Copies of this chain bind each other. A is one copy, B any other.
Amino acid sequence: MNRKEKLIYDARAKIFKALAHPTRLWITQKLVDSERCVCEFVDELDVDFSTISKHLSVLKQAGIVEDDKRGKQVYYRLKVPCILKFMHCVEAVIEYQAKEHNKLIK
């Protein structure tokens, strides 16, 4: 891997890293339908609101979401909706593994 490749793969890895957390994936999924207020995540997730805020910050830094302050509240939305398409592939990996696992048990 040369220097140029290194830069490319670092940049890509950053996107994957941002998505590599259950809470952030859940948030991303929520944003597929429509933008959401941070307060909605706070209500639905059982973690400290500061934690949620940091997760949102990671997604924002990675360029996956963008935010928008309206009054007291901050709304987040997906910047690049194609993210969701990959979930089918991810599910395929999981199902494939489940199948293999069953084979081993039988």
A64 cross-chain contacts in B, Cβ below 8 A: 93
Name the one of B5, B22, B85 contacting A9, with C-beta atoms under 8 angstroms.
B22
C-alpha gap A44/B88 in the complex (Å): 32
Smallest CB gap from A83: residue in B:
B89
Task: Determine whether the beta carbon of A90 is less than 8 Å from that of B16.
Answer: yes
Interface residue total, chain A, C-beta cutoff 8 A: 43
Interchain CA distance A87-B79 in the complex, whole Å: 16
Tell me the smallest distance from the CB of A97 to a CB of chain B, in Å: 4
User: How many whole Å from A96's CB to the nearest CB in chain B?
Assistant: 6
Shortest beta-carbon distance from A17 to chain B in Å:
4
Chain A residues proximal to chain B, CB less than 8 Å: 1, 5-6, 9-13, 15-17, 19-26, 29, 44-46, 62-64, 79-80, 82-83, 85-94, 96-97, 100
